[in-house]
């Protein structure tokens, strides 16, 4: 991945990854000398690395010249993510990862497939100009892509992002009903409520009809549900060690695999998987002042939604704000 130096960015670092691995393999502690020999770097380089890790929230016990790793923070630093970490640029705080990724892409500082991930966002962006609440503890990431698609088919990227989130959530073997809502959300549905777990914001840029590049932003509630109508992964899986880091590790690799399937021409198979796992119930779609109510029955090959109206006719929905209609009692 083409990455140049960036202010305040935390990048993948093979030495840090190895030091942490060595420390985990030696829960009773290991001397700085032994680590430096394994890594073939000086002891002072090890001591500097440990100090930097302490600043990032890692906790060590240092005694008799031995280093013992006591605690890893639940922060998805690139070296915690495995192979996929090489594609991550991490920031503690940004306005939002969408704008940061766009800025870096336009300056040629990142290559396609690169993720910008932040621990928190000052002004997270949702769809339709809404705000995306972004406290610490949840996943906020935007990936820079160059899909070979017409601009109006950006919805396919949104759906692929949603499918990758859905596949990742399902890997936790959740018993509740988790559904993709066309075109961009993941909801947890029960008999009388629909709670939002994740949202996707795919923004494409290009001068002609063709996409020049897309920034696909994904927000997933992991430890916090910032709004009444939201739910977080922790509520579904219970207490789990370093859940945000664990989710990020699974998700980055799942997204890569899902997007590669798309690049290999498997859109129709992916579309079928989305259709099987999407909310196929009653929805209301707002297109400005225009309102459509009906049942979402599927997705067209171009990514648009097939809506069956109350009169039995069909409508193809290319854009809009979709709300799930469940039998929610008025008091909720
Ligand atoms: C929505 O459901 O309205 C889409 C929400 C998308 C939120 C993500 S969080 C990472 C990226 N940065 C942002 O500011 N927005 C997207």
Average pLDDT over every residue of 299-312: 95
Contact call for residues 274 and 262 (beta carbons, < 8 A): no
Inform me whether the pLDDT recorded for 190 exceeds 90: no
Helix axis angle for 32-39 and 43-55, nearest 10°, is 100
Q: Which atom of ligand 1 is nearest to the CA of 198?
A: 2
Helix (H), strand (E) at residue 20: helix 14-25
Distance, in Å, from the CA atom of 218 to the CA atom of 237, rounded to the nearest integer, reads: 20
- Residue 280: exposed, middle, or buried by beta-carbon count in 10 A (0-12, 13-18, 19+)? middle
Is the shortest distance between the CB of 124 and ligand 1 below 6 Å? Answer: yes
Question: What's residue 332's pLDDT?
Answer: 32
What are the backbone angles phi and psi of residue 324, rounded to the nearest 5°?
-75, 135
Q: Which residues contact 275 (CB under 8 A, 6 or more apart)?
A: 298, 299
Q: Is the CB of 125 under 6 A from ligand 1?
A: yes
Q: Is 258 in the pocket of ligand 1 (CB under 6 A)?
A: no
Task: pLDDT band for 191, please (50, 70, 90 cuts).
Answer: confident
Tokens 């961009």 belong to residue? 184
For residue 131, the SS3 value is strand
Q: For residues 24 and 28, give the distance between their C-alpha atoms in angstroms, rounded to a whole number.
A: 9
The residue count for the chain: 332
Q: How far is CA 45 from CA 25, 99, 271, in A?
A: 20, 35, 50
pLDDT of residue 2: 43
Cα–Cα distance, 45 to 19 (Å, whole number):
11
CB 214 within 8 A of CB 157: yes
Q: Name the band, by pLDDT with cuts 50, 70 and 90, for residue 39.
A: very high
Closest CA to 162 of 147, 142, 183, 178: 183
pLDDT tens string 255-298: 999 999 999 999 999 999 999 999 999 999 999 999 999 999 99
Supply the pTM of this predicted model. 0.94
- E strand or H helix that includes residue 220: strand 213-220
Q: Ligand 1 pocket: which of 217, 320, 322 to mutate (most atoms <8 Å of CB)?
A: 217
Q: What is the pLDDT of residue 327?
A: 58
Radius of gyration of the chain (CA): 22
Predicted local confidence at residue 64, as pLDDT: 76
What is the CA 113 to chain-centroid distance, rounded? 13
Task: Quote the CA–CA distance of 29 and 46 in Å, as a whole number.
Answer: 14
The answer on pLDDT for 203 being more than 90 is yes
The three-class DSSP label of residue 199 is strand
Does the C-beta of 97 come closer than 6 Å to ligand 1?
yes
Report CA(68)–ligand 1 centroid distance (Å): 38
Give yes or no for residue 328 having a pLDDT over 50. no
CB of 121 closer than 6 A to ligand 1? yes
Q: For 118-168, write each residue's pLDDT tens digit.
A: 999 999 999 989 999 999 999 999 999 999 999 999 999 999 999 999 999
pLDDT tens digit sequence for 213-266: 999 999 999 999 988 889 999 999 988 999 999 999 999 999 999 999 999 999
Summarised one tens digit per residue, pLDDT across range 269-279 is: 999 999 999 99
Q: Is 183 in the pocket of ligand 1 (CB under 6 A)?
A: no
- Ligand 1 lined by 253 (C-beta under 6 Å): no
Nearest CA to ligand 1 atom 2: 199
């Amino acid at each position: 991945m083409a990455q140049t130096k960036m202010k305040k960015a935390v990048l993948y670092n093979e030495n840090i990854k190895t030091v942490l691995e060595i420390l985990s393999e030696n829960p009773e502690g290991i001397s700085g000398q032994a680590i430096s020999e394994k890594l073939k770097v000086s002891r002072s380089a090890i001591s500097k690395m440990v100090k930097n890790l302490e600043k990032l929230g890692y906790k060590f016990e240092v005694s008799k010249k031995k280093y013992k790793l006591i605690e890893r923070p639940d922060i998805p630093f690139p070296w915690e993510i495995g192979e996929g970490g090489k594609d991550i640029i991490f920031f503690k705080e940004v306005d939002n990862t969408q704008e940061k990724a766009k800025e870096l892409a336009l300056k040629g500082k990142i290559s396609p497939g690169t993720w910008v991930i932040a621990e928190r966002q000052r002004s997270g962006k949702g769809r339709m100009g809404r705000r995306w609440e972004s406290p610490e503890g949840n996943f906020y990431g935007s990936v820079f892509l160059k899909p070979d698609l017409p601009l109006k088919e950006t919805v396919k990227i949104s759906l692929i992002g949603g499918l990758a989130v859905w596949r990742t959530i399902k890997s936790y073997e959740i018993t509740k009903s988790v559904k993709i809502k066309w075109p961009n959300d993941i909801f947890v549905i029960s008999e009388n409520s629909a709670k939002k777990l994740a949202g996707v914001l795919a923004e494409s840029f290009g001068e002609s009809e063709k996409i020049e590049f897309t920034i696909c932003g994904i927000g997933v509630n992991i430890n916090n549900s910032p709004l009444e109508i939201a739910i977080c992964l922790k509520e579904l899986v219970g207490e789990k060690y370093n859940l945000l880091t664990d989710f990020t590790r699974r998700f980055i690799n799942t997204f890569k695999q899902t997007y590669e399937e798309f690049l290999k021409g498997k859109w129709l198979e992916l579309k079928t998987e989305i259709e099987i796992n999407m909310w196929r119930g009653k929805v209301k779609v707002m297109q400005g002042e225009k309102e459509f109510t009906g049942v979402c029955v599927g997705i067209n090959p171009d990514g648009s939604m097939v809506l069956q109206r109350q009169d039995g006719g069909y409508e193809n929905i290319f854009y809009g704000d979709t709300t799930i209609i469940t039998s929610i009692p008025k008091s909720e």
